[in-house]
Structure 1
Amino acid sequence: MAAPGEALTSAGYITHHLTNLSLGSLGLVEETSFWNVHIDSLFFSVFTGLIFLGVFRSVAKKATAGVPGKLQCFVEMIVEFVDDNVKETFHGRNALIAPLALTIFCWVFLMNVMDLVPIDFLPYPAEQMGIPYLKVVPSADVNITMAMALGVFALMIYYSIKVKGLVGFTKELTLHPFNNPIMIPFNMLIEVVSLLSKPLSLGMRLFGNMFAGEVVFILCAAMLPWYLQWMGSLPWAIFHILVITIQAFVFMMLTIVYLSMAHEDSDH
C-alpha cells in the first residue's frame, strides 16, 4: 500500500518500485559496470532459502513415527508430492534429482510468495532508514531466474557427458536428427539452438510471469488512492497464489525433464 501523501507521480512511483537496490544505485560502482550487484535480490534469495532449510531441518530433527504434528504432515505431503513427480518423470538412476527437485520447488515457491507482501510494506520503512530502493521478489529479477536456469544447464551438460561420454554427447549434437556426415552442420545448428533454448526458456518463463504479477500490484498501488488499493490488490493476490504455485511447479518439472533427457543413452 502506498503511503498517504506520497510525493512521487504515478510514473515515478512505478519506476521507483521497479528499481533494484544495487551497488550502482548506492554509488559504489558504475551503473553499467559488470560488477553491479542487485543487493536486494541476493538478500531475499538467501533469506527465503534459509527459511526453507530452517523449517525442513527443524521438522527432520523432530520427526516422529507416531502421530505427526501439522507441520510435519505438511512437509511430508510436499516431499511425497515431489518424490512422486520425480519417479514418474525421471527415468535414470541418480540420488541427487529428488532432493534437487524438492529444493527448487520450495525455494522458488518461497521467492514467489514474496510477491504477496503489500507493495510498500518493506520498501517504505527501508526508505525511512536510508535505503533508496528495495525489490522484495527475487524471482522478478531476471538475474536470479537466469542464474538458477544456468545452474540447471550446467548439470544437464555434466550428466550428458558423464552418462553418454564425451564422444556420445558429441555424436548427439552432430548426428541427430539426421545420421549422415553431410548433415553435421545442419544437425549442430538445430541441436545447439535446442540445447541453449532450454535454460533461456526456463529462466525467462519464471521471470516473465513473476515480473508481470509484480507490475500489476505496483499499478494498483500507483493508480488508486491508498484506501482503495485493496479493491485491486486483493482479488489479484488471491489469483496470484495459483500463479506462484504453478510457476514453482513448472520450474521443478522442467528441471526434472531436462535432467532425465541428459541421462538417456544415445541411440547412435
Structure 2
Amino acid sequence: MASEGGTESGGMSGYISHHLHHLASKTQDGLFDINVLHLDTVFFSILCGVLFLIPFFFAARRATSGVPGRFQAFVEMLVEFVEEQAKGMVHGNLSYIAPLALTVFVWVAMMNAVDLIPVDLFPWVAHNIFHIDYLRPLPTADINGTFGIAVGVLLLVFYYNFKVKGVGGFLHQWITAPFGNVKLTGNPLTWIAFLVLAVVNIAFTIIEYVGNTFSHGMRLFGNMYAGELIFFLIAGLGGTATAFGIGMHLFTGTVWAIFHILIVLLQAFIFMMLTLVYIGQAHEHH
C-alpha cells in the first residue's frame, strides 16, 4: 500500500500519513466538522457488532443443560465473569446491565482486535478491488468512534439516574452534591446561600459528567491509536529490502502482536469496568 496513492515518494512519513486518512463522506473543514462522517469507522464498528451478535445468538438458541460444547462453555464462562463484575459494581437489577456490560466488553474487544490484522490487508483490498484510496479499519483508533460509545454510556447513565431516582431525585442530586446545601428558612441569607451552593454543585456535576465521558473515550482512543502507530512503523520496516530489515520486521511484528493481544483485552475490560462504575453511581442515592 505504500506504493499506492502516491505514498511511495513520501517514505515512512508518507506511508503512515496515508494510512491515517479515513474514508470520509466529505473533506473536513477545520478541526471540528460535524458534517463529516468516517464511513470506515461506521462500517467496521457495525461489522464487529454483527460478528459478535450472530455467534452469541446461536449459542444462546442452541444452549443445552447437559455437557456444553466448547463454544457454549466459553460463552458461559464469559457471561459468568461479566456478571460477577457487574454484581460488584452495580447494586440494582442486573437483568439488563449485565448483558450491556457483556456487549460492551466483547464489542470493544473485537473492534480492538482489528489492529491484529496486517495493516496493509484491508487498504490493499479496498484499493485494488473497490478502488478506494483511503481506508482505516481500526474503529477504536478513531476518536469519533470511542467518544461515540462514551456518549452512549453517558446517555445510559442519565437514563438510570431518572429510572432509579426519579426526575425530582435526580434534580435534587444536581443541586446538593457534592457539597450539600443549606436548609431554607425565612432568613433571606439562607436563600442566597442555597442559590450559591446550588450553582456550585451544578457546575461540579457538569464537570464530573464531562470529565468522565472525556476520559472514558480518550483512554481507549489513546491506547489504540498508539498501538496502531507502532504497527505502521513495524510495517514500514518491511519496505527495507535487506535481510536485516525483513528480519526486524518479522521479529518486532510478532513480539508486538503478542503483546498487543493483552492491550486489546485489557482496554476492553477497562472500558467495560468504567461503564459499570458510571452506571453503578447512577444507582447510588446521595
- Among 259, 265, 272, which residue is 1:239 paired with? 259
Rounded Cα–Cα distance in structure 1 between residues aligned with 2:175 and 2:121: 53
Q: How does 1:88-167 map to 2 (within 5 A)?
A: 88-129=88-129, 130-167=131-168
Task: Choose the corresponding residue for 1:221, options 235, 238, 243.
Answer: 235
CA distance in 1, matches of 2:54, 2:168: 43
Q: Is the 8 A contact 1:104 1:252 kept in 2?
A: yes
- Asked if structure 2 preserves the Cα contact closer than 8 Å seen for 1:92 and 1:264, the reply is no
TM-score (norm 2): 0.85
Distance in 2, matches of 1:191 and 1:16, equals 41
Cα distance in 2, alignment partners of residues 140 and 11 from structure 1: 18
Q: Distance in 1 between matches of 2:231 and 2:84?
A: 35
* Alignment of 1:207 onto 2:221: yes
Aligned partner of 1:178: which letter? F
What's the counterpart of residue 254 of structure 1? 274
Match for residue 31 of structure 1?
A: 28
Partner in structure 2 of residue 20 of structure 1: 22
Alignment correspondent of 2:8: 7
- Partner Cα separation in structure 2 for residue 67 and residue 159 of structure 1: 38
Q: How far apart are 1:166 and its partner, in Å?
A: 2.2
Distance 2:261 2:211 in 1: 28
User: 1:49-72: per-residue Cα shift (whole Å, max 9, x none)?
Assistant: 111011101212222222211111
Name the amino acid aligned to 1:55. P
Aligned mates of 2:178, 2:61 — CA distance in 1: 50
- Cα shift at 1:231: 2.0
Q: 1:70-102 deviations in whole A, cap 9, x for unaligned?
A: 111111111111111111211112421011001
How far apart, in 2, do the equivalents of 1:191 and 1:34 lie? Answer: 26
Range moving further from structure 2, 63-72 or 212-221? 63-72
Q: CA deviation at 1:179?
A: 2.2
- In structure 1, what is the Cα distance between the partners aligned to 2:91 and 2:277? 9
Residue 2 (structure 1) shift: 6.1
Q: CA shift at 1:207, angstroms?
A: 0.6
Cross-structure match for 1:40: 40
Gap runs ≥5 in structure 2: 182-193, 241-245
CA distance in 2, matches of 1:67, 1:176: 51
> Per-residue CA shift, 1:144-194, capped at 9, x if unaligned?
111111111001112112222222222212222222314222222222101
Q: CA RMSD in A?
A: 1.9
Contact between 1:52 and 1:106, CA under 8 Å: does it hold in 2? yes
CA distances 1:188-237 after superposition (whole Å, capped 9, x unpaired): 22221012111111111111111110011001112453634222211111
- Name structure 1 gaps, 5 residues minimum: 25-29
Matched-pair identity in %: 44
Question: Kindly tell me: are residues 187 and 219 of structure 1, through their superposed partners in 2, closer, same or farther at Cα, counting changes over 3 Å?
Answer: same
2: CA distance, partners of 1:31 / 1:186 = 38
Give me the whole-angstrom Cα distance separating, in 2, the residues matched to 1:215 and 1:117.
14
CA distance in 2, matches of 1:82, 1:179: 35
Once the 2 structures are TM-superposed, how far is the Cα of residue 265 of structure 1 from its aligned partner? 2.0
Q: Do the aligned partners of 1:3 and 1:124 also contact (CA within 8 Å) in 2?
A: no
1:191 pairs with 2:205: yes
> Is 1:172 equivalent to 2:203 in the alignment?
no
1: CA distance between counterparts of 2:221 and 2:229? 12
Q: Which amino acid aligns with 2:225?
A: F
Greater Cα offset, 119-128 or 134-143? 119-128
Q: Kindly provide the amino acid, as one letter, of the partner of residue 255 in structure 1.
A: T
SS in 2 for 1:122: helix
- Tell me the TM-score normalized by structure 1: 0.91
Query: 2 CA distance for matches of 1:3 and 1:72?
Result: 45
Query: Hey, what's the Cα distance between the residues in 2 that align with 1:192 and 1:159?
Result: 17
In structure 2, the CA distance between the partners of 1:94 and 1:79, relative to structure 1 (3 Å rule), is: closer
Match of 1:27 in 2: none
- Which residue, 211, 220, 230 being the options, matches 2:250? 230
